[in-house]
Every structure is written in C-alpha cells, then in structure tokens.
C-alpha cells in the first residue's frame, strides 16, 4: 500500500529534513509533497534507521526553488523502493509545481503525483494549469 502526505513546512527545509524523514519513516509514509521549502537542494537522498524495526528507510528528494526568492518552492520525497520518474514535461512556467510518475508493480499502469504551491499574493496561477 502507498501512502501520500502533503506538508507545508514554511521554509527551513534544511533544518527540518531529518525530522520530516524520521516521522515519514516511522509512520510508513511512501510519498511526501512539500510546499514552501525555501532554498532547498534540488536533489538528494536521506535515510533514517528505525531501531525497533532494525531497518533503514531511504527517501529520494526532488525540489524546485521559487525563482528570485528565498521563500516558496516545492518538493517531493519518494521512498527509494518505489519505481518513479520525474515528469518535468508537466511543469508550467510561472507556477511552483513539480510532478512524478509512479509506476505500478507488475502493471502497465502509473499514477501522476504533483506538488504545487500558490502564494496568497499571486493571482491567476490555477488558470495556467489548464494545459497540464
């Protein structure tokens, strides 16, 4: 089973990543879409050792910064055991968004998962998504 969570972390990604990964690993969360990540790494991997289960859980991180600002930005943490690809072809200029395509095991089916952030000061963002 796959579990998905969205979390608005209001900047401070670098300060919060260890805690985010610990919570996700401890609660068996597969994918986390994050908003307001600030200036985060564009890609990386993070691991957390779960002592009571005697296993290590690894997540891949993909992030997008807001151009010209330290605020905003989006990202996705994906459990490393899940087959997935980044779908940069679905990104829309001027919209803080990113997408992954999650491949189903033993199937031709897939699902697209996106992380988007629309700051309160911006108007008309969602109309730009009509062509996605």
pLDDT digits (tens, 9 = 90+) for 80-107: 999 999 999 998 877 888 999 999 877 7
- Cα torsion angle, 49, 110, 3, 10, sign: positive
Predicted confidence at residue 132, as pLDDT, reads 56
Global pTM value: 0.83
Predicted confidence at residue 70, as pLDDT, reads 73
pLDDT digits (tens, 9 = 90+) for 37-83: 887 777 777 877 777 677 888 889 998 887 777 778 899 999 999 99
Q: What are phi and psi of 14, to 5 degrees?
A: -60, -35
């Amino acid at each position: 089973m796959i579990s998905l969570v969205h979390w608005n972390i209001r900047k401070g990604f670098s300060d919060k990543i260890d805690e985010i990964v610990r919570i996700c690993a401890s609660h068996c969360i597969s994918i986390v879409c994050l908003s307001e990540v600030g200036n985060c790494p564009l890609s990386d991997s993070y691991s957390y050792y779960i002592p009571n289960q005697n296993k290590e859980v690894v997540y891949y991180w993909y992030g997008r910064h807001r151009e010209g600002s330290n605020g905003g930005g989006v990202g996705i943490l994906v459990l490393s055991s899940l087959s997935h690809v980044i779908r940069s072809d679905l990104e829309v200029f001027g919209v803080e968004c990113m997408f992954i395509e999650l491949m189903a095991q033993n199937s031709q089916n897939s699902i697209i998962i996106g992380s988007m952030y629309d700051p309160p000061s911006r108007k008309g963002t969602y109309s730009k998504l009509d062509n996605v």
